[in-house]
Chains A and B, each alone.
Chain A
């Protein structure tokens, strides 16, 4: 089930390489052994590839997920509540039957779900639905990641800090609170007083108040191109593009690490080298907390 995404245009090989076409031991007929459902507010190119297309009314994803959560548990749902989402009872009864009777279901959710009305509450509701489906059959949920190695960022931050994003070290140890420490909120409120941007272009993608704040504070930008962010930054450093001229590792969206095989020899240094050199330069300066007030490490305690 794809929810709020358009893989036919944004992830062109997703169907053929991963989800629909591949033949396997348990699905020897490939596409014929699978059912694809697309939930979206408009009929995109991906609808052609789907067996069932559900056109949800814009902004009603959370309601539809909540109705599905009730229906799988055979709780009462009113007709007017179903009509509000743009669905009919027959369609949803059929969907619930198919979901419960499948051997292995997977939700792939895109920005159409996670960036519209309800935002992270929508994602949370879909994850809960996937968890609850496990009372009947195997079901999982996976976000459709846009940029190359954004999954790797989650994995690395989880490994190093215990949290996937929205972290602060301002007490000397990592704390996690999206909404308080997530970038858009921090920038719109004007909390931070310097920004280090790597492998991203917030100058082109963030809301205007956030961009205004990036212009006010010293911004440092690492990118293979001179981007919108570079133009508003105090410092820009050109680096080699990952996977084309810089070696390393990247995570696929199902959290499988893959080695990169760069073809070109870039005249620019890699991101890794530049960040390491900046870290070394920072390490030569005095630590930000006064002597004696550093957080006590567990290993130092008697």
Chain B
């Protein structure tokens, strides 16, 4: 089996965001992460494309993504003072959507920085 190779991949485990990693993968699993440190290697090799978790959970029960999205929107809209928090392990594109959400809701908005 030949593996696909990605040169100069970006590791987002820590704030260093090293962008010189070589990944050997078969779209399901990464087998090798050259140049990555111990933390980065663990980060790349421990994630797979397998379906390990349910798509979504509502009150601990499995649900579809659409149901969970509607439920989330209802709960957030009903709240008087919602909080949007986190945004560390996600992309800038998603972070921008989170800011839009806080603006739309009149919510609190905060990241790990304040911890």
Interface residues of A (CB under 8 A from B): 10-14, 17-18, 115, 144-157, 160-161, 164-172, 174, 178, 181-184, 186-187, 191-200, 202, 205, 217-218, 220, 222, 224-226, 230-231, 233-238, 241-253, 256-261, 263-272, 274-279, 281-283, 285, 288-289
Question: Which of B30, B65, B70, B74 has its CB near the most chain A CB atoms (within 10 A)?
Answer: B65
Contacts of B20 in A (CB 8 A): 17
With a CB–CB cut-off of 8 A, which chain A residues contact B17?
148-149, 250-253, 256, 258
**What 10 pairs between A and B have smallest CB-CB spacing?**
A248-B91, A145-B15, A200-B86, A194-B79, A148-B12, A281-B73, A147-B88, A182-B114, A12-B37, A199-B90
Q: Does B1 contact A (CB under 8 A)?
A: no
Minimum CB–CB distance for B102 against chain A, Å: 5
Task: Determine whether the beta carbon of A252 is less than 8 Å from that of B16.
Answer: yes
Within 8 A of A (CB), among B30-63: 30, 37-40, 43-44, 47-51, 53-60
Contact in complex: B82, A193 (CB < 8 Å)? yes
Return chain B residues, CB-CB under 8 Å to A253.
15-17
Give the CA-CA distance A49 to B64 in the complex, in Å: 51
* Interface residues of B, count at CB 8 A: 89
Q: Does B69 contact A281, Cβ atoms closer than 8 Å? A: yes
Partner of A285 from the list B77, B112, B113 (CB cut-off 8 Å) is B77
- Verify B53–A12 contact, CB threshold 8 A: no
CA distance A38 to B43 in the complex (A): 27
Residue numbers in B under 8 Å from A289 (CB-CB):
106
Q: Say yes or no: B15 contacts A191, CB within 8 Å.
A: no
Q: Closest A residue to B21 by CB, please name it.
A: A261
Cβ–Cβ contact A183 & B15, under 8 A: no
Q: Are B102 and A235 in contact (CB under 8 A)?
A: no
Q: Establish whether residues B73 and A282, one from each chain, have CB atoms under 8 Å apart when the complex forms.
A: yes
Would B88 and A199 count as touching, CB distance under 8 A? yes
Q: Considering the chains assembled together, what is the distance between the CA atoms of A289 and B104 in angstroms? A: 10
- Are A198 and B94 neighbours in the complex by a CB distance under 8 Å? yes
> Bound complex: CA of A220 vs CA of B74, how far in Å?
11
Given A194-B83, A278-B69, A285-B77, A17-B15 contact (CB < 8 Å) = no
Question: Is A279 touching B111 in the complex (CB atoms < 8 A)?
Answer: no
How many angstroms between the C-alpha atoms of A225 and B51 in the bound complex? 11
In contact, A270 and B94 (Cβ under 8 angstroms): yes
Asked if B101 and A197 make an inter-chain contact with CB atoms under 8 angstroms apart, the answer reads no
| B12 x A242 contact (CB < 8 A) | yes
* Residue in B15, B78, B94, B106 whose beta carbon sits within 8 Å of that of A275 in the complex: B94
Q: Is B10 a contact of A149 with CB atoms below 8 Å?
A: no
Q: Out of A168, A225, A271, which one reaches B90, CB within 8 Å?
A: A271
Cα-based distance from A259 to B19 in the complex (angstroms)? 9
Smallest beta-carbon distance A10→chain B, Å = 7
Check if B94 sits within 8 Å of A278, measured CB to CB.
no
Q: Enumerate B86-115 residues with CB–CB distance to A below 8 Å.
A: 86-115
Please state if A279 and B104 are interface contacts (CB–CB under 8 Å). Answer: yes
Residue of B with least CB distance to A18: B16
Chain B residues, Cβ within 8 Å of A152: 87, 91-92, 95
Contact status A202-B77, CB under 8 Å: no
Separation of A267 and B58 alpha carbons in the complex (Å): 19
Q: Which B residues touch A252, using CB under 8 A? A: 15-17, 19
Q: Give the residues in chain B near A14, CB-CB below 8 Å.
A: 16
Closest chain-A Cβ to B31's Cβ sits at a distance in Å of 10
User: Would B110 and A245 count as touching, CB distance under 8 A?
Assistant: no
| CB of B23, distance to nearest CB on chain A (Å) | 5
Is the Cβ of A259 less than 8 Å from the Cβ of B98?
no
Q: Are A192 and B18 closer than 8 Å at their CB atoms?
A: no
Can you list 10 A-B contacts with CB-CB less than 8 angstroms, sorted by A residue number? A148-B89, A166-B114, A167-B108, A167-B109, A193-B79, A218-B75, A235-B56, A261-B9, A278-B69, A282-B105
